Structure 1
Amino acid sequence: MHDLVIRNGSIVDGTGAAARSGDVGITDGRIRELGTVTEAGRQEIDADGRVVAPGFVDVHTHLDVQGFWDTSLSPSPLHGVTTAFAGNCGFTVAPLDEQAGDYLMRMLSRVEGMPLESLQSGASWDWRTTSEFFDRLDGTLAINTGYMVGHSAIRRVVLGEEATERAATPAEIERMADLLRAGLRAGGLGFSSTWSQSHHDAAGRPVPSRAAAPEELYALARVAGEFEGTSLEFLPILPPAGGGFDPDTAELMIAMSVAARRPLNWNILSVTAKTFEDAQARLAVGDLARARGGKVVALTMPDTPPARFSFRAGFVLDMVPGLHDYFFLPVEERLAILRDPARRAQLRIAAEKPSPYSHLVNWRSRHLVETFSPRNAGLAGRLVGDIADERGGDPFEVLMDIIVEDELKTTFSNPPGTVRPEDWEARAKVWRDPRAVIGASDAGAHLDMLEFFAYSTMLLEQGVREQGVIGLEEAVRLITQVPAELYGLRDRGVLATDAIADVVVFDPATIARTPIETRFDLPGGAGRLYGEAVGVGHVLVAGTEIARDGAFTGARPGRVIRSGRDTATAPLI
């Protein structure tokens, strides 16, 4: 007798093969039969009219700390995610020393939009090694999680307060290499880093990895190449619209991949019909890497809903030169500035000086997404300019009044645009491109800014059903087998005999995202954007049902994915 049999489903196995009717028999956490299963199951699921697919693999998250206070890692599993990779952008929370923990949690609160009060009260921060960190989480979570070893963390431990200020010496690079080796030996999935111009720590300084010279990155990339089943992840300096990467940035990514003999993925590549040629120019770094024996791929998303900005988080807005210092002040000081007419006026003058980011401070065009004070009720969904006209006021002053009333919690976005059929067609071309992979959700980060945690549902709801730019089988392959192969994930990413039974059962006719809302359910009472899915009936990890019809079952079968044991070295072709 099988532990579980899923019957009468439309099996979409993740390889891109045509769907076929059949059953799935699961015993001891693995798929033992596919097709017609005559043996009974202790538990049975009738999947008639629904798709049975591999669990979705999310390769870019920041779920490193959330597992200490939310072992479900919600809401990602409700959207069918059964494996998530964290520790990206160099922002890991191990290794630590006596001072690094406080620095890193403050850095994460700034650069990844995680509320500091949640980081401080939701985790103990008393581990030291990467191995200890993995052991704390292993066997406690609903889904499988794998973690990179992050550059900023190891740089802070080795260089201390100077980590953000200077290049490392050869001896310091070797000490970082030793910490990286220890993390990879414990099962870290590889090496992650960033040079992104948007990444600053809590004091407004570039994060530690941005002070690294190319030689340091090459040396650490080579260390990743010493271990089976590892990979590289890097955020480059993104070029302006109108072309590909500058030669130095392209060379950096290519040389890192060649030095490690491992794939390197970067993000994020946003695509519309208007930006398609720019996207192709950026993807060209993959061709240059292939010619030299490396592999460089972009991470992209099915859709890019407008990011939410706020004067509380300040992320992205701090790239406006005149606002940069403001967003590194304490919240109460920021509120005091906005309440003082003279200081508010000075801030406006500084913010509106011409810069490449002037579009972010076109106050009239800001679209209010969510407000919180009863006095701001009814303003969400409206343009600031329209509200200002209605009140007979100045758009900047009206927006600041709203923000003050909400104690900086107000979220707003760029003007909502109309996505055209040609935009979806352009995106689908990039999804299929072997130089790109779907997966840049940032789940666990930018908690008041992004809703990309629902990327799998976006793809199946919009790309497949509503827009029809990609078939169901191909779409499933792009969020299962393709990301699994990028990281060399063993026995996951496809439905096959003896594969681990990470499975999602969904209704292709109804799968959809629910409206996004802010929930104040984090430690310390902090808020986050939250959205569920409809049409996702069952989510299984290693044959154990972790979610059913949008609700968690309470089961926690997830394991920490460890390089070498759970991953093989991915090919560079």
Structure 2
Amino acid sequence: MTRCDVVIRGGTVFDGAGSAPRVADVGVTDGKVVAIGEGLPDGVRTIEAAGKWVMPGMLDVHTHYDAEVLGSPGLGESVRHGVTTVVFGNCSLSTVYADAEDCADMFARVEALPWDAVNAAVKEHKDWDDPKSYAASLAGRPLGANVAALLGHSDIRVAVMGLERAVDGNVEPTAAELDRMRHMLIDALDAGFVGLSTIRSSFSKLEGKRYPTRQLPSTYASWREYAALNEILRQRNRVHQSTPTLTSRLEMARYFAQSAGRFRRPLKTTLIAAADVKADRTTARAAVAAAWLSNKLGGARFRWQHLPVPFEVYADGVDLVVFEEFGSGVAALNIRDVMRRSELLADEGYRRRFRKDLGKRFGPRVWHRNLYDAEIVGCPDAAVIGKSFGQVADERGIHPADALLDLTVAHGSALRWRTVIANDRDDVLDRLQLSPQVQVGFADSGAHLRNMAFYNFGLRLLERVHQRGFMPIEQAVHRLTGELADWYGLDAGQLREGARADITVIDPAGFDGSSAAYAEAPMPGIDVRRMVNRNDRAVAATLVNGHLLYEYGKFAKGFGTDLHAGTFLRAR
């Protein structure tokens, strides 16, 4: 045979479909897998993979890279972890139609991104005016990973109605405006978008100077508006992704009803999130059971998104999205000026409300609000580092809530602390990852830059499986690759002759437990040190479209600047 561009020699090959692995060579030419077998001659480039796993590149289906991809198209934090395809446009947020200021107002607070960075990225780089030209613009950039997109409902609602009307609960779109939104969605699906994203969560607040206390536009829509758009998705077999108000059973019933397909074509629906929430240990079991009933009895095509690692979050002072779930927390986050916020936090009347909110132990919630389970990891007062707010309170003879507020008033964002909100029990994590009612996702890559880092969620799942053995490795690979690609209708997730050469080579010798360690790194193009996870010994190589982009901590020359590897993947 003709000499291949790349030969991956002697690795344990997983096809992404769940088949048993085999030891073989993989040959790549012109961006395609052209041979899988033994004894292939050396390629122009040969990668020695004996003792390593050769698998399709992983998919990350819940990201918010919409702004980052414009200025830093390599998406290196995903590529370095073996991810070769990302999906953005989640949670009703995309940058297809809305102008730069509207995009910044919508993305900044709910996704904890710098307002100026989002505004500048869209303003500087926007050279499209519809989904087709948006897809072409992305495909023409020096992408590292492949990208696929959902169309954000908040995006089209603002473009049609204007921001003021779109976030007014007393205003519904006119028939002409709803028809325009429908045609925007049709144009996006024609351009290859995988579907539509919406949001109902009350956590989702706007940033900016105009309407900083309002929620995202999608939350103000009626179910009649959703149904009109969902019917298009159902006809085209595309995806509805959403962030629900998990505390409302009626809301959840509506999602299940929309997905149902006993007497019609089902609607592919994926929601965040199936999680073993510390605040309510019944959540995970109830979520999986409800999804099973919906799929089995209602003929739905429903999946929960699931993060396969402990849900550990960090906060600077009170800047953390979970404070949006109770009134006094919202009041603090609504004040963006540091001095004015400190005045509020110091007020005794406010503190009474804050203590009462944190003391509530019943009712639906995400955060456990246990300040004995919140460790201080950074503070100018070195004496409190390594202690919980509860411990500090005991030492000072005050309420734990006052310890948090005192330290925040004194040190502002220099006070840094951490807690685990969900997924802290291995046996429950195992069961969730084995459930066909969930799909592996919800990494929120590209968002919450100072709050969490799950860019390497796939590696951490593989490491857990390797160490705990609760499912076969080939099944874990399938869950991270072929299963997601098939569900979203993307040309990805397979390692077979004729397939795209999007390949990850994993070195299991690098599974040393360091993948969960805290780390920070500068974010390209933005004056922010974002949280990351790094284990450069676990990924031996990442190839996208046959291009070798990354090896053991080093990126290829021209990565993200001149090297065009990834492309815009159109949904089938």
Which residue identity does 1:508 align to in structure 2? P
In the alignment, which residue of structure 2 is the partner of 1:124?
A: 123
Which residue of structure 1 aligns with residue 63 of structure 2? 61
| Corresponding position: 1:332 with 2:338 | yes
1:535 paired to 2:544:
no
Work out the CA distance in 2 between the residues paired with 1:470 and 1:381: 36
Residues 215-256 of structure 1: per-residue CA shift (max 9 Å, x gap):
1111111223454x63221122213xxxxx725522334325
For the 8 Å contact 1:218–1:256, the answer to whether it is kept is no
Q: For residue 235 of structure 1, what is the aligned residue in structure 2?
A: 243
1:136 maps to amino acid: S
TM-superposed CA distance for 1:17, in Å, is 2.0
How far the C-alpha of 1:279 sits from its partner, in A, is 2.6
The AA in structure 1 aligned to 2:444 is D
Q: Select which of 147, 157, 160 maps to 1:158.
A: 160
Alpha-carbon shift at residue 64 of structure 1 (Å): 0.9
User: Secondary structure of the equivalent of 2:356?
Assistant: coil
Structure 2 residue 206 is matched with structure 1 residue 205: no
How far is the alpha carbon of 1:312 from its aligned partner?
5.8
Q: Can you list the C-alpha shifts for 1:233-284, whole angstroms capped at 9, x where unaligned?
A: 1122213xxxxx7255223343256577441111111137997764343232
The answer for the alignment partner of 2:100 in structure 1 is 101
Contact 1:118–1:526 under 8 Å retained in 2 = no
2:480 is aligned to 479
Is structure 2 residue 336 aligned with structure 1 residue 367?
no
Match of 2:143 among 141, 147, 156: 141
- In structure 2, stretches of 5+ residues that fail to align are none
TM-score of the aligned structures, taking structure 1 as reference length:
0.87
Distance 1:246 1:18, change over 3 A: same
Equivalent residue number for residue 461 of structure 1 = 463
CA contact 2:279–2:367 (8 Å) conserved in 1: no
Residue of structure 1 equivalent to 2:272:
267
**Partner in structure 1 of residue 313 of structure 2:** 307
- The residue number in structure 2 matching 1:215 is 224
> Who is 1:571 aligned against?
none
Whether contact under 8 Å (1:298, 1:436) holds in the other structure is yes
Please say if residues 521 and 528 of structure 1, whose CA atoms lie closer than 8 Å, have aligned partners that are also in contact. Answer: yes
Which residue number corresponds to residue 496 of structure 1?
A: 496
2:172 maps to 167
Between 519-528 and 389-398, the greater mean CA deviation after superposition: 389-398
Contact 1:320–1:357 (Cα < 8 Å) also in 2: no
Identity of aligned residues (%): 26
Cα distance 1:288–1:417, how it changes in 2: closer, same or farther (>3 A)?
closer
State the distance in 1 between where 2:255 and 2:499 align: 37
**Is the CA contact (8 Å cut-off) linking 1:460 and 1:475 kept in structure 2?**
yes
More deviation, 504-513/172-181: 504-513
In structure 2, which of residues 189, 200, 206 is the aligned counterpart of residue 195 of structure 1? 200
Aligned residue for 1:176, secondary structure, equals: helix
- 1:95 counterpart SS class: coil
Quote the residue 1:349 is aligned against.
Answer: 352
Contact 1:311 1:327 in 2 (8 A): no
Q: Distance in 1 between matches of 2:278 and 2:393?
A: 33
**Cα offset, 1:514, TM superposition:** 5.7
Q: Secondary structure at the match of 1:316?
A: helix
**Paired residue for 1:11?**
13
Match in the other structure for 2:76: 74
Q: Does the C-alpha gap of structure 1 residues 558 and 331 become closer, same or farther in structure 2, counting only changes over 3 Å?
A: farther
1:357, distance to aligned residue in structure 2 (A): 7.8
The structural deviation recorded for 1:364 is 4.3
* Aligned Cα root-mean-square deviation (Å): 2.8
Contact persistence 1:272–1:424 (CA under 8 A) = no
Which one of 521, 529, 536 corresponds to residue 523 of structure 2? 521
1:183 pairs with 2:188: yes
- Report how many aligned residue pairs link the two structures: 546
- Deviates further, 263-272 or 496-505: 263-272
Sort the Cα spacing of 1:416 and 1:299 in 2 relative to 1 into closer, same or farther, 3 A: closer
Following TM superposition, by how much is the alpha carbon of 1:406 offset from its aligned partner in structure 2, in angstroms? Answer: 4.3
Structure 1 letter corresponding to 2:552: D
1:561 is matched with 568
Deviation at 1:169, TM superposition (A): 2.8
CA distance in 1, matches of 2:421, 2:222: 40
Conservation of the 8 A alpha-carbon contact between 1:57 and 1:479: yes
Instruction: Work out whether residues 313 and 421 of structure 2, in 8 Å CA contact, stay in contact via their aligned partners in 1.
Output: no
**Offset from partner CA, 1:387-421 (integer Å, 9 cap, x none):** 344566664444334334543253323478994xx
Q: CA deviation at 1:520?
A: 4.5
Q: C-alpha distance in 2, partners of 1:273/1:92?
A: 31
The structure-2 alpha-carbon separation of the partners of 1:74 and 1:335, relative to structure 1 and needing over 3 Å to count, comes to farther
Is the alpha carbon distance of 1:47 and 1:108 closer, same or farther for their aligned partners in structure 2, counting shifts above 3 Å? same
**Relative to structure 2, which stretch is displaced further, 31-40 or 519-528?**
519-528
1:61 aligns to what SS in structure 2? coil
Residue 408 in 1 paired to residue 413 in 2? yes
Aligned residue identity for 1:69 = G
| Contact in 2 for aligned 1:143/1:557 (Cα 8 Å) | no
Distance (whole Å) between structure 1 residues aligned to residue 94 and residue 302 of structure 2: 22
Change (3 A) 1:271 1:453: same
SS in 2 for 1:497: coil
Classify the secondary structure of the residue corresponding to 1:142: coil
Letter in 1 for 2:93: F
Contact 2:371-2:390 at 8 Å conserved across structures:
yes
Following superposition, the deviation at residue 484 of structure 1 comes to 1.0
Residue identity matched to 1:535: A
Query: What per-residue deviation string (whole Å, max 9, x for no partner) do you get for residues 62-117 of structure 1?
Result: 11111123222131222111101110111111212xxx431221221111111213
Instruction: Tell whether 2:261 aligns with 1:254.
Output: no
Distance in 2, Cα, partners of 1:276 & 1:418 = 10
C-alpha distance 331-550 of structure 1, shift in aligned 2 (>3 A): farther
1:350, CA displacement in angstroms? 2.4
Answer yes or no: is the 8 Å Cα contact 2:205–2:216 preserved in 1: yes
Q: Distance in 1 between matches of 2:526 and 2:549?
A: 26
Name the CA shift for 1:528/1:380 in 2 (closer, same or farther; >3 Å).
farther
Residue by residue, what CA displacement relative to the aligned partner does 1:329-382 show, whole Å, maximum 9, x if unpaired? Answer: 1232445426x84x3x233122123455899695742523542x6x24474432
AA of the residue aligned to 2:374:
H
Q: Is the 8 A contact 2:161 2:177 kept in 1?
A: yes
In structure 1, distance between residues paired with 2:280 and 2:477? 25
- SS of the aligned residue for 2:461 comes to helix
2:322 to 298, 316, 320: 316
Bigger CA drift: 77-86 or 511-520? 511-520
Structure 1: segments with no counterpart, 5+ residues: 240-244, 569-573
Could you say if the C-alpha distance between residues 313 and 260 of structure 1 is closer, same or farther in structure 2, counting changes exceeding 3 Å?
Answer: farther
Could you say which residue in structure 2 is the equivalent of 1:382?
A: 387
